[in-house]
Structure 1
Amino acid sequence: MRGRGRTAWGRAGAWQGRPSVAVRLGLVGVVLGATAAVAPGQAALAAAGASGVSGTSGALGAASGAAGTPSPYAFADGARSVEGARSTADAELLKPGTAYKSSLPSSGKVSYSIELDAASDAYVSVTAAPSPDSTVSVIDGLRVSVQDAEGNSCSVDTESFGAARSPHPIAAWGMREISPTKALCRKAGTYYVSVERADPKGEGSSPDAWDLELLAMTEPRTAKTGPTGAPEVWNSATPQPLQGKAERRRGGAGFAGATPLDQGVWRDYLRPGQTVFYEVPVDWGRQLHATAELGSTDSGGTGYTTGALDLVLYNPARGHVADVSVGYDGDQNSGSLPPLPPVDHANRNAPVEQVGAVRFAGSYYLVAHLAKSVADSFGDGPFAMTLRVRVSGAAKSGPEYVGESEPAGVFEVSDQEREAAAEGVAGGGDTTMRAVAVGGIGTGSALLVGLGVWTVMARRRGPAQ
Structure 2
Amino acid sequence: MVRRGAGRRAAAGRSRRDRRGRCLSHQLAVRLAVAAAALCLAAAGPGPSALAAGGADPYAFTDGARSVTGATSTTDALPLEPGRTYRSSLPGSGKLYYRLDLDATSTAYVSATAVPGAGTTVAATDGLRISVRDARGASCSSQAARFGPSRSPHPVAAWGAREISSGRPLCQGAGSYYVLVERVGAKASSSDTWPLELAVVSEPPLQRAGATSAPGSWNSASPQPVTGQAAERAGGAGFAAASTVGQGVWRTRIRPGQTFFYKVPVDWGQQLNAGVELGSSSGGSGYVNGALTLSLYNPVRGFVEEAYAGYSGRQTSAALAPVPPVAHANRHGFAAQVKGMRFAGHHYLVVHLAAQTADSFGEGPYGLVLRVRVDGTAQPGPDYAGRSEPGQLFEVTAHDRAAATPAGAADGSAALRALAVGGIGAGTVLLAVLGAWTVLARRRADAL
Q: Which residue of 1 aligns with 2:291?
A: 308
C-alpha RMSD of matched pairs (Å): 2.8
CA distance in structure 1 between the aligned counterparts of 2:48 and 2:370, rounded to whole angstroms: 16
Amino acid at match of 2:302: G
Q: Where does residue 459 of structure 1 map in the other structure?
A: 417
* Residue identity opposite 1:271 in structure 2: R
| Alignment partner of 1:157 is 2:143 | yes
* Residue matched to 1:412: 395
Tell whether 2:62 aligns with 1:104: no
2:103 is the counterpart of 1:117? yes
Match of 2:358 in 1: 375
The one-letter code sitting in structure 2 at the alignment partner of 1:350 is G
Match of 1:223 among 207, 222, 225: 207
Q: Distance in 2 between matches of 1:415 and 1:148?
A: 40
In structure 2, how many angstroms separate the alpha carbons of the residues matched to 1:302 and 1:110?
A: 43
Q: Greater relative contact order: 1 or 2 (C-alpha under 8 angstroms, separation 6 or more)?
A: 1
Q: Which amino acid aligns with 2:191?
A: P
Contact 2:54–2:118, Cα closer than 8 Å, also in 1: no
Q: Is the 8 A contact 1:62 1:253 kept in 2?
A: no
Among 339, 346, 352, the alignment partner of 2:335 is 352
Cα distance in 1 for partners of 2:80, 2:418 equals 34
Task: State the TM-score, normalized to the length of structure 1.
Answer: 0.80
The answer for the alignment partner of 2:376 in structure 1 is 393
Q: Which residue of 2 aligns with 1:362?
A: 345
1:390 to partner: Cα distance: 0.4
| Correspondence for 2:302 among 299, 316, 319 | 319
The corresponding residue for 2:197 is: 213
Distance 1:114 1:426, change over 3 A: farther
The residue identity in structure 2 corresponding to 1:131 is: G
Report the Cα offset of residue 315 of structure 1: 0.4
Partner of 2:401, secondary structure, is helix
2:324 to 333, 341, 365: 341
What is aligned with 2:272? 288
Distance 1:271 1:35 in 2: 47
What's the secondary structure of 2:307's corresponding residue? strand
* Distance in structure 2 (CA, Å) of the matches to 1:180 and 1:103: 36
- How far residue 353 of structure 1 moved from its aligned partner, in angstroms, is 1.3
CA distance in 1, matches of 2:157, 2:163: 19
Cα deviation 1:382-404 (Å, max 9, x = unaligned) = 01110110000111111100000
* Structure-1 separation of matches of 2:328 and 2:49: 37
**1: distance between equivalents of 2:324 and 2:217?**
9
Give the superposition deviation at 1:420: 1.7
Aligned partner of 2:131 in structure 1 is 145
1:425: Cα distance to partner? 4.3
Deviation at 1:199, TM superposition (A): 2.3
**Gap change, CA 1:224 and 1:237, over 3 Å in 2:** same
Which residue in the other structure is 2:57 paired with?
71
SS of aligned partner of 1:245: coil
User: Quick check: 1:260 aligned with 2:218?
Assistant: no
1:416 CA drift (Å): 1.6
Matched length:
399
Q: Which has the larger radius of gyration?
A: 2
User: What is the 5 A alignment of 1:223-262?
Assistant: 223-262=207-246
In the alignment, structure 2 segments of 5+ residues that lack a partner are 1-22, 424-448
Residues 385 and 162 (structure 1), Cα distance of their counterparts in 2 relative to 1, 3 Å cut: same
Residues of 1 paired with 2:374 and 2:421: CA distance?
A: 25
| Secondary structure in structure 2 of the residue aligned to 1:163 | helix
- Structure 1 residues 128-187: Cα deviation after superposition (integer angstroms, max 9, x where no partner): 001112111221101001001111100010010111210000001010111121100000
Report the counterpart of residue 89 of structure 1 in structure 2: 75
Distance in 1 separating the partners of 2:176 and 2:41? 40
- Correspondence for 2:153 among 163, 167, 182: 167
- Equivalent residues of 2:123, 2:186 under 8 A apart: no
In the alignment, which residue of structure 2 is the partner of 1:197?
183
Q: Deviations over 1:329-375 (max 9, x none)?
A: 00001121001111011111011111011001000000000000100
TM-score normalised by length of structure 2: 0.83
**CA separation of 1:324 and 1:461: change in aligned 2, threshold 3 A:** farther
Matching residue within 310, 319, 331 for 2:314: 331
Structure 1, unmatched stretches of 5+, are: 1-33, 430-452
Q: Contact conserved, 2:97 with 2:179, CA < 8 A, in 1?
A: yes
- Judging changes above 3 Å, is the alpha-carbon distance between structure 1 residues 234 and 108 closer, same or farther for their aligned structure 2 residues? same
Amino acid at match of 2:341: V
What SS does structure 2 have at the residue aligned with 1:416? helix
Does 96-105 or 415-424 show the bigger shift? 415-424
Is the CA contact 2:129–2:143 (under 8 Å) kept in the aligned structure 1? yes
* Contact 1:294 1:386 (8 Å CA) reproduced: yes
Give the match's secondary structure for 1:290: strand
Instruction: Give 1:459's aligned amino acid.
Output: R
Partner secondary structure for residue 73 of structure 1: coil
Alpha-carbon deviation of 1:207? 2.3
Partners of 1:315 and 1:363 within 8 A in 2? yes
Give me the whole-angstrom Cα distance separating, in 2, the residues matched to 1:39 and 1:276.
38
Query: Which amino acid in 2 is paired with 1:458?
Result: L
* Structure 1 contact 62–252 (Cα < 8 Å) conserved: no
Q: Deviations over 1:170-224 (max 9, x none)?
A: 0010101111211000001111101000127536xx5210000001001101111
Alignment of 1:415-454 (within 5 A): 415-422=398-405, 423-426=407-410
Give, as a single letter, the amino acid of the residue that structure 1 aligns with 2:276.
A
